[in-house]
């Protein structure tokens, strides 16, 4: 796109040499290479972001399971405390 604009600008001036065309062609090729490198970097960044999202989702699932286990342990502890209190009260009544 940039190369075409340069060719148009140079062509409009009426004095286009082979050297001018080669320079524009080289600029266009460099721009295409730069764009390809940028695309590769973007693709790599997308893969890393996807992997990070997967890791975060896994961590979230593990945290949820840990919270559920902690809640179950707390309920068990409360039930044991209540049972021990009832046993103590019964023993004090005798």
pLDDT score of 66: 98
- Work out the pLDDT band at 16, boundaries 50, 70, 90: confident
> Taking the C-alpha atoms of 9, 11, 14 and 17 in order, what is their torsion angle to the nearest 10 degrees?
110
User: Is the pLDDT higher at 90 or at 49?
Assistant: 49
Rg, C-alpha atoms of the chain: 36
Q: Is the pLDDT of residue 43 over 70?
A: yes
pLDDT score of 1: 55
User: Are 16 and 10 within 8 A, CB to CB?
Assistant: yes
Q: Is the pLDDT of residue 9 over 60?
A: no
Q: Is the pLDDT of residue 59 over 70?
A: yes
For the chain, the structural domain boundaries read 2-9+17-93
């Amino acid at each position: 796109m940039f190369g075409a604009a340069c060719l148009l600008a140079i062509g409009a001036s009426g004095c286009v040499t082979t050297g001018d065309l080669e320079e524009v062609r080289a600029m266009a090729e460099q721009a295409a290479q730069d764009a390809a490198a940028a695309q590769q970097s973007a693709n790599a960044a997308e893969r890393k972001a996807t992997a990070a999202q997967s890791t975060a989702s896994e961590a979230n699932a593990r945290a949820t399971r840990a919270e559920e286990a902690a809640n179950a342990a707390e309920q068990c502890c409360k039930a044991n405390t209540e049972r021990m209190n009832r046993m103590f009260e019964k023993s004090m009544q005798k």
